[in-house]
A and B are shown apart, each in its own frame.
Chain A
């Protein structure tokens, strides 16, 4: 199984290059920290939500999906701000966090992993004289992202099997097959990469 958050589309945002989107994300992150006027913050949040849902064509449902996991933390932080600072600070901090996540999600959903990797390679190339291999780092990150859902799937499969055997509370019954399958998958993936000509990637730089 392969992780992939990119959602294909032909919106203006999709067509922007990855370096432009990532730069804008960094600039916006810094700018948001400086905003301390509540109406400006509300305007920025609404604009970001509009760009995400309408301009990028990702829709309000996905905007909600990107926001939902945050809510409990935002609520917690807002309560703390309200209690220790002011109500205005609570609103500012909450909107800042939510907007930042929307911007990050917007970049993730509209940029291919390979484009992100190319940016990473360009950034890491600065360290090439120090012996750093940017392609290898970028590929390592891409592989890590690709393997996350694989790990979850293996854990889910093994949990289902052990549950069927009445062993869901046994850590050994979970750990051993999960580890075995992970090692086997890693071995198969390694074979596949060698077969596709990647064994000497590092040496070719």
Chain B
């Protein structure tokens, strides 16, 4: 009863969130340096390598941006739902559903010209993600069923469906028995952008920009905010909570589906079981780091991608994979702590001491 606890700050942290993030990451790098020294590596060299591998050249930048595409779209999917206090934990499954949709179109029309085939694949991917999110959306809007559980469980369904496809009807006859679908037609590949990046980077950047702007400036975004902030206030001013829940969750699924579509028309050359690669879950971290603001997702996704690319690169210096993983995790942990501390403060006190004025329960929309 008299321990430490977090309470929401009434005012944002002075100095801003950027300073908090910088401090969090710096602390993580210091702790990481200790580990690097302990494992017999030069921390300066390792960190220089990390930066060089992720931003040091056009090639490095293109690798980082390519990595950031699925992270950013998955993060946006989670953040859009988070704007009104909903948790889409199903981006992983929705990415798979999107990839299945795209692969299906490629099977249907393998001879279509690229400018027709690629958009068709992307639209099918968007539809796939949206369809997978539709069930949880309806259940939440009409029956009040917790979307965290339903979206999470559908991830398992999506994984099993793709596993069935690549082991059964869609299995590549020339795949030497591996559970993989046939290689996609050559004209289904997205054109190159620069170095190793394809124009999927531009598509994702465009979607992130539109939503970042639209969510903060539009009537729709404003109504979402009211609905997420106070269900009662929303009801009073005539914002339909049910309609908002439905559209937001389906939209969230559609964005994650697009990530699957870009993956299939971009980096991946065929549909495989691991097509989503954990990006759907990483998207939750991206959204949390962006403080659930769609406008912040792009920057976080690039930084997250850079940490992953850089973390892999230092293994070439002889840094053990485990240490590299720990350093990546530390940086995320430092940044996440900064996100928490920029919105909450730690106080020591008993009951009734400085109760937060905002009711946190209000953050979750209820029907």
Asked if A pairs with B, the answer is no
A residues with CB within 8 A of B = none
B residues with CB within 8 A of A = none
